[in-house]
Amino acid sequence: MSEPVPVGVIGAGRIGRLHAKNLRQIRGARLAAIADPRLAAAEQAAVGNGARATEDWRELLQDDVIRAVVVCSPTDTHATIIEGAAAAGKHIFCEKPIDLDVDRAREALRAAERSGVRIQVGFNRRFDPSLGRIAELVRRGEIGTPELVRISSRDPHPPPIDYLKSSGGLFLDMSIHDLDMARHLVGDEVREIFAAGSNLVDREIGRAGDIDTATITLQFRNGALGVIDNSRRAVYGYDQRVEVFGSNGCLTVGNPTPTSVSLWNENGRSSDRLMDFFVDRYAESFVIEMEAFIDCIRVGREPTATGLDGVRAIELALAAQRSLQERRPVRLVMERPRERLGP
């Protein structure tokens, strides 16, 4: 077996620390360095992993040993870092969204395409064993033609307000996972989108110009429909449910709980609380997506969640924003799914 792929992680916040920890367990990879302007955070994430810490991602890119980077810095830094990594010949895993501006995202992806490096976008839910399985069953025709997809995706609590301010808002930060999942499950592009949103959870979020509660209706080119609902606050835990209904049946994924025990007594029936948040609910998916990325580098395969998938999801999130602002359905003009990024 060839040597493990040396990887650098850029950004040692919530998701950077998680990927750094997972990289340690992945046999085909070796965590080589972590960069974060908060050096103490980088050092903390590097400790015990045999990795070095640096304040500067540009310095990390100069390290000839490193073959791939995992971009986990705030969203508004991703495009610049992708371009830097592409110029340095490093393969790229980039957290979602690629950028808040779709043209900027395309520009960065073209830089990666020109330099011939692989790029995978952090749509980890595609790699969740249950969601991955329903996608496979849909593809195999087990429910006939998919006609409806329903996704409920509710966070237990909002993220810190400073994070929200640079996140691009609910559609680009949170719904983007659901928009990607809907596209992935139906296997077609969206023709029209209609979004509604409210500020019901925290006034601070409204003051920051964002919403915390939303519904999104999708119509795909093949006529299938999708409904997504999002909230930044579910008092009972992280609520993630998906259903695909088709001409020959239906597939559902519910909420896993830490155990499957249910207690029945004179008060009724109770079971474990839902998982806390994405770190727990999607723990396996984060490992599997990183294994898949490393595997793509090792065998020279195209990733499953591509740069183009990242662009499509941004287009959908921006169309949802526009629909909310203009209070009307928005039509999307898109090329075929597997077309290149264009000039």
Ligand X SMILES: NC(=O)c1ccc[n+]([C@@H]2O[C@H](COP(=O)([O-])OP(=O)(O)OC[C@H]3O[C@@H](n4cnc5c(N)ncnc54)[C@H](O)[C@@H]3O)[C@@H](O)[C@H]2O)c1
- Which residues of this chain interact with ligand X, rule CB under 6 A? 10-16, 35-38, 41, 57, 72-75, 77, 95-96, 122, 124, 163, 173, 278
CA-closest candidate to residue 307, choices 99, 139, 38? 99
CB of 342 to ligand X, least distance (A): 24
Residue nearest to ligand X (CB): 13
Strands 213-220 and 249-253: unpaired
- For ligand X, give the closer residue by CB, 122 or 156: 122
Interhelix angle for 78-87 vs 102-115, to 10°?
10
Residue 146's region, left for phi above 0, alpha for psi from -120 to 50, else beta, is beta
Q: In this structure, what DSSP letter does residue 303 have? A: P
- For ligand X, give the closer residue by CB, 53 or 111: 53
CB of 142 to ligand X, least distance (A): 28
Q: What pairs with residue 9 in β-bridges? A: 34, 70
Segments of 11-98 assigned E as strands: 29-35, 52-54, 68-71, 91-94
- For ligand X, give the closer residue by CB, 137 or 279: 279
- For ligand X, give the closer residue by CB, 143 or 287: 287
Please report, for the chain, how many H helices and E strands are present, in that order.
13, 15
CB of 6 to ligand X, least distance (A): 18
CB of 111 to ligand X, least distance (A): 17
Q: In this structure, what DSSP letter does residue 76 have? A: G
CB of 148 to ligand X, least distance (A): 25
